[in-house]
Structure 1
């Protein structure tokens, strides 16, 4: 990225259709075309790279930095999008306003829960599995508590709380994130089983209770949040376009 866009926007998300993207959907008799897209996140500016390193230094145990890899976020997202095509395929509408929050949780946990199988199949190496786990955990803390209308962010809080409770992640005495690699996949599998049971219940009250029980902003999240805001106080990106603004005024 160059110019104003490169200066004020450190990353961009693209969507790329994978080859034969309809075939898997047709074969299983369901799914969506966009499940077979690949998301690509690119951080290009020097400022973005410096900010990312500051964030890691402030929030992630130094020994785990070697496993942080932005490419691993792509691998995780491929799993996430494909898990959306797995069941339950009907009845989740009964979960009402919690449907999307629960579904996004399912997709994330499915992506992690399948990692051991994918390593056995040779899709990922054991090293790449560690990269996926560390990158996921390190990026799963927010600057501020979201509201219930933000499904993707709400699921992030729910997952962080769940992994903290299950001792898969924790903050050490320096207030930085530690990760138990051996507990990450089993914890994801445990949460995935709970989520699918909620979806199969087709019951609004069950879904509401599950979300509200896990949508808890913990002390650990607050500690990380304060550190993230010290590095970057903005909650949303901004784009300054003086030329466009000037032209708009002259029209």
Structure 2
């Protein structure tokens, strides 16, 4: 209808009316573009909220797992240290529950912290920039680097366990009455066990290093949750 009116005014050389019609068209197009942009912005904000909620769910589980497991990792390193101390003092311990804890710690390998499927998806698709909060991106990247470093140590620890001399000095069995479906030390050869001290030193060093990474991963996970919680609170 505006086009028909504009055509008529041009034919009539009514330039003032032409100007009015043209202005109406321009304003209409401008408003249409602005409305479309506003709708897209609102849709993007909703997608961002869903993304943050997914990340929050991932790291809530990661932090929960870390808070539950980290003390066990620290305790395992302490058991290994106590075994090394007994060997250095050359005092053969009785095969009681404490000694069993020491022996089992020497071959115990804990899994690394979980990854975030949502973060992995963003990295794989090259869309990490969807996260507009620079601090959150940095915290996510820091967690990924810390977990990668821990995975390297995990592989080293598995190799040490599978190729180490401990099992030639300690006899293990499964299905412990104390803990369930895990290894339990049944007996040990003290002279052979004493010869494993250099290996145990490597085991302890790796356990301590992994615990350091686990502590940093847990701190990063908590920081990520705090940033996301603040962001969602400000967006609601």
Normalising by the residue count of structure 2, what TM-score does the alignment of the two structures yield?
0.29
Question: Greater strand share, 1 or 2?
Answer: 1
Normalising by the residue count of structure 1, what TM-score does the alignment of the two structures yield?
0.28
Higher relative contact order (CA 8 A, sep 6+): 2
Question: Greater helix share, 1 or 2?
Answer: 2
Structure of greater Rg: 2
